[in-house]
Amino acid sequence: MTNPAFSKLFEQVELKDGIKLQNRIVLAPMTHSSSNPDLSVSDAELSYYERRTDKLGLAITAVAHIMPGGIGFQNQFAAFGEENLPGLTKLAASLKKGGAKAVLQIFHAGIQSPRNLVPNGDVVGPSAIELPDGSQSRELSNEEIESIVLDFGRATSLAIRAGFDGVEIHGANGYLIQQFFSGWSNRREDKWGGDVEARLAFPLAVVDEVQRTVSAETKEPFIIGYRFSPEEPQEEGLTMDHTFTLLKALDAKNLSYLHVSLMEYDSKPRRGGDLNRTRLEQIVAAAPGTPVIGVGSIHTPEQAVEALELGAAMVALGRELIIEPDWVQKVEAGQEADIARTLSKDDQERLVLPDPLWGMILGVPGWFPIVEAETAE
């Protein structure tokens, strides 16, 4: 029996579009680099997702590339080309088996594209920026920008036909959409650049094209979410005040939900806004008409409820659903004391983790709490 302290997690949620989720718990999008080399969905991915999406409210995939020139990760599935429709169709079905709504996250990596993954090593962005390897990105032309906007629409069309319940526009983590909004990476003086209001042009053009595609291609309600990062470390980068401008514009677009990208769900701003209140509280207040997904180091049901109390409508679990695929079932059954908090080097098969993701888990020190097999909880 569910502990009454956690019952709020299992309330039904209605998104802005009228779609109802069976509870407030979300699978966070996490890159796993476990697709086939041709960027099609692999059987290992299908098993991985199916194992940890039972009884969730919403399941958001890892990023899907909208075009070859925007690839950000090796062996991460593509949302372009008819040849990828069968795999995406299987993926949508896997995510939905346990009652979750299935959302395909779509993105373009922009200046974060590894040169070896994009055609001719052509790394592009809003402006020519010096990259970590000392080379420069190439500034996109107006025609290319308009074409990329259409690619977001084409990816949405593919998601509709594959049977997804929605898409999430990835405007966070320093990828192309955020690059256009940031004064650090967007130094243009045409219609795609300028002051903070003018730099909304590309993000809003993508939202408009995705919404236009949905209106044209389905009469059913279809989820459109938007993920964003509230701050950037660079001096010319985004502050909380810039993010409030973005949120005001997005709140007016009637999106299904907004999804903040945070390392810690209860973190406070570095620059802008009220430095004494959590980012999450201020984000919710800045977009009063749109449900917000809170995320960031949520491991226990107590932390999940605290994120809801800060104003989030839903909470996303990333690493925790890798370590404990039965998190939802255990909390619902009142067995939260049995939730695993660590994993061991013997757990790959038990946790149904594809080889590339398992290699990442073992290869990044401190990312996951790994213990010796005999003491794993």
Handedness of CA 368, 61, 294, 13 (dihedral sign): negative
What confidence category does residue 366 fall into, taking pLDDT thresholds of 50, 70 and 90?
Answer: confident
Query: Which has more confidence, 2 or 257?
Result: 257
166 in the same domain as 92? yes
pLDDT, one tens digit per residue, over 101-120 is 999 999 999 999 999 999 99
351 in the same domain as 219? no
Per-residue pLDDT for 5 more than 60?
Answer: yes
269 in the same domain as 346? no
Per-residue pLDDT for 322 more than 80?
Answer: yes
DSSP at 11:
S
Per-residue pLDDT for 352 more than 60?
Answer: yes
Average pLDDT over residues 151-157: 98
Query: Which has more confidence, 132 or 155?
Result: 155
Per-residue pLDDT for 262 more than 80?
Answer: yes
Domain count, the chain: 2
Please classify residue 29 by burial: count the beta carbons closer than 10 Å to its beta carbon, then call 0-12 exposed, 13-18 middle and 19+ buried: buried
359 in the same domain as 260? no
Amino acid 133: pLDDT: 85
Residue type, 211: Q
How far apart are alpha carbons 12 and 52 in whole angstroms?
A: 19
71 in the same domain as 168? yes
Residues contacting 44, CB < 8 A, separation 6+: 34, 354, 355
DSSP at 49:
H
From 175, 226, 257, 265, the catalytic residue: 175
Residues contacting 350, CB < 8 A, separation 6+: none
358 in the same domain as 302? no
> How many C-beta neighbours within 10 Å does residue 47 have?
13
352 in the same domain as 272? no
Amino acid 131: pLDDT: 86
What confidence category does residue 374 fall into, taking pLDDT thresholds of 50, 70 and 90?
Answer: low
How far apart are alpha carbons 82 and 108 in whole angstroms?
A: 19
Over its C-alpha atoms, the chain yields an Rg (Å, rounded) of: 20
How far apart are alpha carbons 29 and 169 in whole angstroms?
A: 12
Average pLDDT over residues 12-36: 95
Amino acid 376: pLDDT: 47
Average pLDDT over residues 181-186: 97
Q: What is the mean pLDDT of the chain?
A: 95
Q: How far is residue 96 from each of residues 87, 178, 209, measured CA to CA in Å?
A: 14, 29, 26
Per-residue pLDDT for 193 more than 50?
Answer: yes
Average pLDDT over residues 268-274: 95
Per-residue pLDDT for 139 more than 60?
Answer: yes
How far apart are alpha carbons 6 and 78 in whole angstroms?
A: 37
Clarify whether 175 is annotated catalytic.
yes
68 in the same domain as 203? yes
Q: What percent of the chain clears pLDDT 70, i.e. is strictly above it?
A: 99
Per-residue pLDDT for 337 more than 50?
Answer: yes
Per-residue pLDDT for 377 more than 60?
Answer: no
89 in the same domain as 156? yes
357 in the same domain as 232? no
Amino acid 372: pLDDT: 82
Residues contacting 23, CB < 8 A, separation 6+: 9, 10, 11, 12, 13, 55, 56, 57, 328
Instruction: Identify whether the C-beta of residue 319 lies closer than 8 Å to the C-beta of residue 45.
Output: no
Q: How far is residue 13 from each of residues 73, 103, 113, 197, 291, measured CA to CA in Å?
A: 33, 16, 36, 32, 9
82 in the same domain as 231? yes
> How many C-beta neighbours within 10 Å does residue 243 have?
26
Domain containing residue 317: CATH number: 3.20.20.70
Residue 200's domain comprises 4-336
What's the number of CA atoms in the CB half-sphere (13 Å) around residue 281?
Answer: 13
Q: What is the value of pTM for the model shown?
A: 0.96
178 in the same domain as 117? yes
Residues contacting 224, CB < 8 A, separation 6+: 17, 166, 167, 168, 169, 207, 210, 211, 214, 255, 256
